[in-house]
Amino acid sequence: MKGKAEVIIGAQWGDEGKGRIVDSLADRVDVVVRYQGGANAGHTVVVEGEKHIFHLLPSGMLYPGKTCVIGNGVVVDPEQFLSEIGELREKRKDKARLVLSEASHVVMPYHKIIDEAEEKRRSKGRKIGTTKRGIGPCYADKVNRIGIRVGDLLDPDSLRMKIIENLEIKNLLLTRIFNLPPIAFDDLMEKALDWGQQMRPYIGDGTAIVNEALDKGRGVLFEGAQGTLLDIDHGTYPFVTSSSAAAGGACIGSGIGPTRIDRVLGVAKAYCTRVGEGPFPTEELGEIGERLREAGGEYGATTGRPRRCGWLDMVALRYAVRVNGLGGIALTKLDVLTGLEQIKVCTAYEIEGRRHEILPSRLPEREDIQLHYESLKGWKEDLANCRRVEDLPPEAREYVRFIEENCKVPVVLIGVGSGREQTILCGL
Ligand code: IMP
């Protein structure tokens, strides 16, 4: 992968295990870039039995000699950033050089308050189930051209003007609409200047660093957050996050041209999960859902919420292949299916008598979708120590083959446990 640009994205609703995939591929590249989302993400990496959860920092942070970039497309909560980097530094695990793009936007305290207040105000059926990390309101300000960027934190005059301009509106919103106390200018200004000083050593030109690395033939990994079906344009809108979680986001969120990308790898769990509200056709509300949740430890890394669980949805996965131009699939958590007699896979939806093998652009209510399933034979063998495809029991190999055949993309990596070494590389 030397000298190549590879994008790693979530091919489902997030939580596919992108962190561990990025971690296991990071040793082959020089630069790891986060390009969208913010502290709503929770990327879990287990190294030598120790669990690290990154919300904002790229998952390559544990590798010495690497450069990690937080790109312009990310929204950065300064307190979260400082606490994550502080914790790593304390453990002496801040092995990589970290560059925070000056063009990334700052999640301000009012964004988090508004996120929570808006969510509370939404009526039943309209709630999104956000992570309350201020993501939506921060991206809204960015698009509305009133956002505060990381670089502004280093320029007191411009910062003052921008905070005044924002508080004028935000305080009206807080007090008049949400019945909440206003935010005091002096406190916020002081805090923001302090964040700037503490973040100063990391702030730089992320776009230049990524492009120069590619110019020099260095390998760059773009680490997507959330997943395709949570993408603001291509996901199950409005039950989505507010950024471009699909592969196209890597260009915008880091400042590289689309022609520079060599390959897009989609990370998909061997089954499906979703946290928060919104459509999830293959969701299993009974025993199977519970079994997957317990065996897979399916509780949100950011909010601790139990994840909704269900069978693998090929209709959604084929859609992810389409909108991301996937060249390969990294299949995670295959081990979680061990012990099931039969494993079901949804291969088509039927809506108003029409068969869909790829997710249509608008999904009707769940009761108006008929799901077509195929059943595959399960296996009983423990997969934890499998390191080659040949080590897998025949039924597990058949399951992988079935996925490849059904979405016409090779499975290039298989995860059989949470450890860095519990990975089968089959085409990388
Ligand atoms: P927000 O990104 O906090 O605005 O949340 C919007 C939706 O995306 C909610 O359904 C969240 O549960 C979901 N979401 C956001 N980040 C993640 C993630 O990293 N993994 C899975 N779901 C996420």
pLDDT digits 0-9 by tens, 237-256 = 999 999 999 999 999 999 99
Ligand 1, closest atom to CA 43?
A: 19
Q: Cα(88)–Cα(307) distance, rounded to whole angstroms? A: 27
Asked if the model's pLDDT at residue 295 lies above 70, the reply is yes
352 and 369 in contact (C-beta within 8 Å)? no
Of the residues 23, 27, 30, 43, only one is catalytic, namely 43
Check if 276 has its Cβ closer than 6 Å to any atom of ligand 1.
yes
Closest CA to 336 of 288, 301, 368, 275: 288
Report residue 121 as tokens: 């105000």
At 428, is the pLDDT very low, low, confident or very high (cuts 50, 70, 90)? low
Catalytic site residue 77? no
Distance from Cα 40 to the centre of ligand 1, integer Å: 6
pLDDT at 233 over 60: yes
Fold for domain 5-101+202-264?
Adenylosuccinate Synthetase; Chain A, domain 1 (3.40.440)
The one-letter code for the residue type at 22 is V
| 56 close to ligand 1 (CB < 6 Angstrom) | no
Question: Which sequence spans correspond to the domains of the chain?
Answer: 5-101+202-264, 106-199, 268-425
Residue 417 Cβ inside 6 Å of ligand 1? The answer reads no
What single-letter DSSP state applies at residue 178?
A: S
**Cα(276) to centroid of ligand 1, in Å?**
7
The answer to whether residue 15 is catalytic is: yes
**Is the pLDDT confidence value at 229 over 60?**
yes
Residue 272: predicted pLDDT: 98
> What pLDDT does 256 receive?
97
Pairing mode, strands 50-54 and 43-47: antiparallel
123 DSSP 8-state letter: P
**pLDDT digits 0-9 by tens, 95-131:** 899 999 999 999 999 999 999 999 999 998 899 999 9
Sign of the dihedral defined by the CA atoms of residues 357, 360, 363, 368, in that order:
negative
Helix axes 394-407, 314-324, angle to 10 degrees: 50
Q: Please give the average per-residue pLDDT across 50-68, as a whole number.
A: 90
Tell me which residue has its CA closest to atom 15 in ligand 1. Answer: 40
Residue 30 has pLDDT above 90, yes or no: yes
CATH C-level class of 268-425: alpha beta
The domain over range 106-199 is classified in CATH as 1.10.300.10? yes
Do 106-199 and 268-425 share a fold? no
